[in-house]
Amino acid sequence: MSDPTHLSLAAARDALVSKKLSAVELTQAHIKAMEAARVLNCYITETPELALQQAKKSDEKIAQGDHGPLEGLPLGIKDLYCTKGVRTTAASRILGQFTPTYESTVSANLLRDGAVMLGKLNLDEFAMGSSNETSAYGPVISPWRRQGDLAAKIVPGGSSGGSSAAVAARLCLGATATDTGGSIRQPAAFTGTVGIKPTYGRCSRWGIVAFASSLDQAGPITRNVQDAAIMLRSMAGHDPKDTTSVDASVPDYEKAIGLSVKGRKIGVPKEYRLDGMSPEISQFWEQGIAWLKSAGAEVVDISLPHTKYALATYYIIAPAEASSNLARYDGVRYGMREPARDISDMYEKTRAKGFGSEVRRRIMIGTYVLSAGYYDAYYVRAQKVRSLIKQDFDIAFASGVDAVLTPATPSTAFAQGEKGSNDPVEMYLNDVFTVTVNMAGLPAISVPGGCAANGLPLGLQLIGRPFEEETLFALANAIEQAAPKIDYPQTWWA
């Protein structure tokens, strides 16, 4: 067989089960690709020996006919998921030497189903960022390059930038990711990959390093919609250890692939037509509408009037929750410690040195908006606006809309250092189309729809009703069928 890293996850699965390929061969090919791509900096920690052990076991299981749904498939795990016995850094200095003694529920679910772990993928520190430039382990370079500008280092998006870049560069068949304000969908859009943030509660958050607990949700990044459906089925499910995880059975999402979308009602929100939106993005959005129409869907205009407040709401609620969640990094029980004369000094020095500037800034913002005298004006007000944002979607769905179609990002990927160096808000604006979804706890998928004039990919976002991920898979697959095929970059880095 030619290079097995070019297979889709579904095709690799079928090749393993039909014994056209062994899990060890498949894993070895990925280890080789991973090791040859270190210049992209996708992996913080590589675990090739562990991967080969797991692959060997998978081959035995396949030989015995006793294989799981992901048996022998090499995946990358975002380094926000705690992995037993394997260093888990959250891309922070403060967790640089942290080795969990337990496995996150979602990664455990993947292992239960036979997956092979190639290593831990880079991200923005504590998942705070939209370009993977805040990682304490250095930025990730996207395998994509701008046409006519091969020198510029393109960002893979963030925070799941290691995941998106590794999938696009074929350094794993699929990757886990997490999404608090767009951290699955934006990197997927930037790299021509598929990323789904499921409904809040669909996946357990247990063992995933917490950022903003009311918004965080796990999901996969893959090279096509079917692969995302396969991975999500294994990742999702009830977990008594996370009281916000939902006790509902997980459908076989793969069955949604190829389902007709005829008669589905698609809402197009006028508030997403931002002032100053580039004509290329509006045209791309129109193209997406046309694709769904020709697949038989009905397209209606809808209004989500509080959209313009979503980002501001997010930048109160997420830092507030982060400031509380990250209080645990105190240099006492785990993580780094900076020596100091007394305990208070030790806390302050440890946290000043252990956290990067974006994380420090967000903790401070969060502390401020929760502090006495400001709590009502900022935090409580933001939680009220959040109710209104959610209500907008409730009204749209009550009117019979099955899903909402928007662009995933306001632009294609930019280059390192191009955004946010003077004003943090400039970087935050990247999440303008994705953040409402986390506010409302809804499922949403980013699916590639082709490339812009600069040669970089663009993604469309479909937002669904709670727990109707199947509808999203069917619609995203319809777009995938209609859109120009994504040609992932040739290997220029090895």
Window 328-347: residues binding other proteins (CB under 8 A)? 330-337, 340-347
Site for other proteins contains 481 (CB under 8 A): no
349 is catalytic: no
Q: Select 192 or 319, whichever has its Cβ closest to other proteins.
A: 319
Q: Select 67 or 362, whichever has its Cβ closest to other proteins.
A: 362
18 is catalytic: no
Report the site for other proteins in 217-276 (rule: CB under 8 A).
240, 243-244, 246
Residue 138 CA to residue 440 CA, distance in Å, equals 32
Residue 488 CA to residue 28 CA, distance in Å, equals 21
Q: Select 265 or 381, whichever has its Cβ closest to other proteins.
A: 381
Q: Select 309 or 488, whichever has its Cβ closest to other proteins.
A: 309
CB 137 within 8 Å of CB 120: no
Q: Select 26 or 359, whichever has its Cβ closest to other proteins.
A: 359
Token pair in block for residue 96: 């640089």
**Exactly one of 97, 260, 283, 294 binds other proteins (CB under 8 A); which one?**
97
Could you give the string, one character per residue 190-209, with x where binding to other proteins holds by CB under 8 A and - elsewhere? Answer: ---------xxx--------
**Exactly one of 283, 423, 481, 484 binds other proteins (CB under 8 A); which one?**
423
- To the nearest whole angstrom, how small is the minimum distance from the Cβ of residue 399 to other proteins? 19
Residue 16 CA to residue 62 CA, distance in Å, equals 8
Looking only at the bridges linking them, the beta strands covering 174-179 and 217-222 are antiparallel
Query: What is the side-by-side order of every strand in the sheet holding 217-222?
Result: 43-46, 116-121, 74-78, 174-179, 217-222, 194-197, 444-451, 457-464, 403-407, 265-269, 298-302
Q: Select 105 or 226, whichever has its Cβ closest to other proteins.
A: 105
Site for other proteins contains 483 (CB under 8 A): no
Report the site for other proteins in 383-412 (rule: CB under 8 A).
383-388, 390
- To the nearest whole angstrom, how small is the minimum distance from the Cβ of residue 218 to other proteins? 16
Q: Select 393 or 414, whichever has its Cβ closest to other proteins.
A: 393
Q: List 81's β-bridge partners, or say none.
A: 208
Residue 266 CA to residue 275 CA, distance in Å, equals 23
Site for other proteins contains 6 (CB under 8 A): no
**Exactly one of 196, 363, 396, 435 binds other proteins (CB under 8 A); which one?**
363
- To the nearest whole angstrom, how small is the minimum distance from the Cβ of residue 381 to other proteins? 6
- Positive or negative, the Cα torsion across 70, 76, 79, 84? positive
Closest CA to 77 of 33, 42, 112: 42
Tell me the site size for other proteins, rule CB under 8 A: 73
- To the nearest whole angstrom, how small is the minimum distance from the Cβ of residue 369 to other proteins? 8
Name the one range near other proteins by CB under 8 A: 62-70, 156-164, 180-188, 373-381: 373-381
Name the one range near other proteins by CB under 8 A: 147-155, 218-226, 308-316, 450-458: 308-316
Site for other proteins contains 455 (CB under 8 A): no
Burial 121-156 (b: 16+ CB within 10 A, else e): bbbbbbbbbbbbbbbbbebbbbbbbbeeeeeeebbb
Which amino acid is residue 387, in one-letter code? S
Q: Select 59 or 124, whichever has its Cβ closest to other proteins.
A: 124
Measured CA to CA in angstroms, residue 145 lies from 275, 340, 393, 413, 491 at distances of: 28, 46, 36, 10, 11
Token pair in block for residue 477: 């697959």
CB 81 within 8 Å of CB 128: no
Closest CA to 125 of 90, 81, 165: 90
- Positive or negative, the Cα torsion across 161, 228, 302, 449? positive
- To the nearest whole angstrom, how small is the minimum distance from the Cβ of residue 327 to other proteins? 8
Q: Which of 159, 234, 323, 411 is the catalytic position?
A: 159
Report the site for other proteins in 136-175 (rule: CB under 8 A).
none
Site for other proteins contains 96 (CB under 8 A): no
Site for other proteins contains 351 (CB under 8 A): yes
Site for other proteins contains 102 (CB under 8 A): yes
- To the nearest whole angstrom, how small is the minimum distance from the Cβ of residue 442 to other proteins? 8
**Exactly one of 348, 421, 484, 493 binds other proteins (CB under 8 A); which one?**
348
Q: Which of 22, 58, 78, 92 is the catalytic position?
A: 78
Site for other proteins contains 56 (CB under 8 A): no
Residue 211 CA to residue 195 CA, distance in Å, equals 19
Residue 178 CA to residue 187 CA, distance in Å, equals 11
278 is catalytic: no
- Name residue, tokens 């903790």: 363
Token pair in block for residue 80: 């926000």
Site for other proteins contains 101 (CB under 8 A): yes
Site for other proteins contains 182 (CB under 8 A): no
State CA 408 to chain mean position distance.
Answer: 12
Token pair in block for residue 276: 């100053």
State CA 389 to chain mean position distance.
Answer: 22
- Name residue, tokens 């499910």: 237
Q: Active-site residues: which are they?
A: 78, 159, 183
